[in-house]
């Protein structure tokens, strides 16, 4: 028995094809397709990327992004356990430490995010404390312990339903809605553990020493 491909006189090996045409069928989906250019590129084929080619015409970073998201140019914000081995910052070939970044770029990214988060907190505390920067119950003025409390409770439910990861950002985006107040961490804990009285949190167990 010979290969089922026209004009091929090689012996049949599998699925009616000879070894050569079966290989082409497995690789290309068509036994008649012949890929002449098999020389891989030296650098990544993504526009603007000069990193070294690794596989499928892509560098290590873009290959990982394509494998994970289906598109090598997808904008990535790494929050996965299986992160790439090389820093995702353009042009950086150092090994990753956390969230897809090398040690240097992770420190930069973290520092920027912390600074922005602090600025958002100051704006929100300033608004809900009427420029006093103090706890609504005990009047403590230490910014390190001040936080935002849902007056009627249900903070966890609100965050889950609205998919809120940063409450300060959400409050600013929604033009500082009503129903929130400034409490220190201690008073916030008391508010969560107290019972409700007429739909509002009571503070009958708050003791000033």
Q: Where does residue 45 rank: exposed (0-12), middle (13-18), buried (19+ CB within 10 A)? A: middle
**pLDDT tens digits, 83-114:** 678 888 778 888 887 778 888 888 787 777 77
pLDDT of 182 reads 95
- In this prediction the pTM is 0.46
Burial 133-148 (b: 16+ CB within 10 A, else e): ebbbbeebeeeeebbb
Element (H, E) at 169: helix 167-173
Is the pLDDT at 126 greater than 90? The verdict is: yes
**pLDDT tens digits, 57-82:** 788 888 888 877 778 887 765 555 56
Measured between alpha carbons, how far is 59 from 89 in angstroms, rounded to an integer? Answer: 12
């Amino acid at each position: 028995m010979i290969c089922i491909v026209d004009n091929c006189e090689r012996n049949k090996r599998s699925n009616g094809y000879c070894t050569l045409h079966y290989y082409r069928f497995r690789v290309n989906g068509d036994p008649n397709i012949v890929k002449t250019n098999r020389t891989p590129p030296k650098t990544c084929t993504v526009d603007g990327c000069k990193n070294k080619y690794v596989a499928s015409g892509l560098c290590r970073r873009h290959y990982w992004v394509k494998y994970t998201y289906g598109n090598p140019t997808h904008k990535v914000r790494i929050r996965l356990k299986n992160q790439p081995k090389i820093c995702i910052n353009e042009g950086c070939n150092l090994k990753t430490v956390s969230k897809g970044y090398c040690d240097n770029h992770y420190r930069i990214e973290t520092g920027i995010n912390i600074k922005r988060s602090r600025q958002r907190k100051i704006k929100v505390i300033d608004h809900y404390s009427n420029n006093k920067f103090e706890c609504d119950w005990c009047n403590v003025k230490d910014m390190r312990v001040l936080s935002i409390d849902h007056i009627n409770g249900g903070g966890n439910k609100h965050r889950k339903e609205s998919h809120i990861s940063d409450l300060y950002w959400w409050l600013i985006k929604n033009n500082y809605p009503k129903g929130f107040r400034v409490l220190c961490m201690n008073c916030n804990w008391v508010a969560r553990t107290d019972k409700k009285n007429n739909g509002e949190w009571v503070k009958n167990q708050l003791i000033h020493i």
